[in-house]
Every structure is written in structure tokens, then in C-alpha cells.
Amino acid sequence: MNEVPVIAIDGPTASGKGTVAQRVAAALGWHYLDSGALYRLVALRALQAGVAADDVAALTRLARSLRPQFDAGRVCLDGRDVTDEIRREDVGALASRIAVHPPLRAALLDLQRGFRCPPGLVADGRDMATVVFPDAGLKVFLTASVEARAGRRHKQLSEKGFPSNIAILLQDLRARDERDSSRSAAPLRPAKDARQLDSSDLSIEQVVAQILRWHGER
Ligand code: DC
């Protein structure tokens, strides 16, 4: 049994879990796993190699041979910094489409569990609490209204210089939510023992403070 403590933070896309999880990890001096980045890296590789979204065998091979390097908030794949590329909307949409395949998900399990190193891990994704780290000491399900999430995504994208349209973002978020929650393999849903937190009207600081309070109560 792995004794290294884990805080699992799951939730829908653009719920703010990435920023929140990174800040919680920094506050505790723990490691951080952005599991969505792994699905995005597989999607990016599939786009580059011309692999179709339903070619499960080829996608699973891509996932199995994935050797990303995470360092100081940047991610490198095959010797190239792809931090900004994997944030593109087309890469995120493909990540969501290929994440429905159970063999691909299974191929990423060991890679994800390998991030569990002392003194602890804060992991963010969709199935951190339900599948990857079911023994996590604290499980948080972070939500926010689709309007709040579209607004945040719009701001994020325009800060990076990518133009975006709120109506299209709303449509894309709804489609992504639907696909991530209705798939049969590891659907997005709170673990039975997860604490739910709606961040629609909370600042990042308030969300981080709440999670650290919950952690401190344990
Ligand atoms: O968190 P994100 O938007 O970067 O994730 C991109 C896609 O990857 C998401 O739409 C679904 C998939 N994903 C998943 O299926 N399981 C995870 N633990 C994380 C992400």
C-alpha cells in the first residue's frame, strides 16, 4: 500500500481545478499532477501522427509510450515544449473524445500513479478520486456554473492572445460536460466520499483556503 498522501480534485472543464490544485500543492510543498494534460498530450500526438479519434489500438500505443517531462509549470514531449499547444481548444476537444476509450485510460494509469511521491500529491482531473487514487485522504469535487466557466475560459484565452467567442465556448463546454459525464469508462462524477465545492461565486483564494481547511481538519 502506498502511504504517500493524496488530495484528489476532480471537476468539469474550466472549473478552476488546475489553478486551485497547483496552489494547494504549492502551499503544502507537495507534487502536482495535471492528469488532463496527459490526455491532451495523447491528443496532440494523435493530431501530429494523423491517428483517428476512434483508432483505439493506435491511440493506446501512443499513450503507452508517452514520456512527458513536467518541470516548473512547463511540459515537454519528445524534446519539445508543448505547454501552450496542448491548451488549444482543438486539442482539448480531441482529448475529451479519445478519453472515452478504456484501453487508453488503462494505459495512462501507471504514469499517473507514478506522480505519487513523498511528501504528497495533489492530483486534478475527472477520475482522480474514483479510479486513479480511490484511497486519497481528501477528495474534492469542484464545480462552477457553465456560464462562470465560459467566462473564465474566455478571459484565460484572451490573456494568452487567442481570440474566442463566449457563445461558442458555452456550446463547447456543454458538449464536453455531456461527453465527460455520460461516457461509460470513468465518467465525471463525484466520488461517494467527495466534498463538493461550487466555485461560481468564490475567488481562487477562497477555494484554496477551503481545501486547505478541509485538509487541516484531517
Ligand atoms: O482537464 P482538461 O480539460 O485539461 O482535460 C482534457 C480532457 O481530458 C477532458 O475533457 C477529459 C479528459 N480527462 C479525463 O478523461 N480524465 C482525467 N482524469 C482528466 C482529463
Q: 33-75 pLDDT, tens per residue?
A: 999 999 999 999 999 999 999 999 999 999 999 999 998 889 9
Alpha helices by DSSP H, listed for 87-201, are: 89-98, 102-107, 109-113, 146-159, 166-182
Atom of ligand 1 nearest to the CA of 14: 3
Residue with cell 494523423: 50
Each residue of 94-150: pLDDT tens digit?
Answer: 998 999 999 999 999 999 999 999 999 999 999 999 999 999 999 999 999 999 999
Atom of ligand 1 nearest to the CA of 183: 15
Question: Ligand 1: which residue has its CA nearest to atom 10?
Answer: 96
Q: How many Cα atoms are found within 13 Å in the side-chain-facing hemisphere of 149?
A: 24
